[in-house]
Structure 1
Amino acid sequence: MYARELAKKHPELVRQVITLATPFADQANSTHAGWLFTLLNGGVSPMDEALLRQLGIDPVVPCTSVYSPSDGIVGWSGCVGTESEYHQNVEVDNVSHWGMVHHPEVLRVVARLLGEPRHRSFRSLLDACVTKLF
């Protein structure tokens, strides 16, 4: 989530964001760990509506969300964003939440993404065109 938020504030410094089982599009308390966070916060959800809306906005850099329906900790639907010019979702089967960082299929997805050439966002392309005009 930190990477996504930093990419929103400084897209010129970010090549791409790859999230693994990250519930940026989730509703408060819909993960298996949500009840614990609420309990530790005195019975109040630490996620208010404004924060949830902010987290759901995609950065203007290429973003890939890797998720698994068999996660077991995070609800997979909270890890899926709207497909767009900047965002894609990649489902991996039979991967636990803790397995995301070492499962061979997930590592192949991350390696493929890191090996792709740098993408220029629509914004940077537009900026380059405007600079040439003036």
Structure 2
Amino acid sequence: MITNSELQPHELEEFLARMARRYFSADALSDTESPERIAARVMSAGTYRDVCELIDLAGRAYLAHVFVTAPYHWFSQPAREYWQRHLRLGPPMPRTSRAKPASLGGAFVPATMPGEPDPVVRVH
């Protein structure tokens, strides 16, 4: 398991405490909110400046750990797509709004926009 940054642990703790107050309502915030949950909220709903500070304090390995181990509902779909690409964790997830139904049973054929490369076809 990857833990908080060894380089700046106190700064990271202070930052996460500030972000918890900013991105969680007082009613929803508990004293035992996990650092991973707070980091995921910043990754999903944070400002550009907050995300940059989180990356500087925690590092990309920690953010990748948070992203991969977090329950699916912790990230919005746009945030999930962004972080999957940004952290280079594999091909982007298919966007259902742009997908065409497959003619072969079980296959997924994503739609393409003009100028995009041909998609990779996945068979489930």
TM-score computed with the length of structure 2 as normaliser: 0.25
Q: Which has the higher helix share?
A: 2
Looking at CA atoms only, which structure, 1 or 2, has the larger radius of gyration?
2
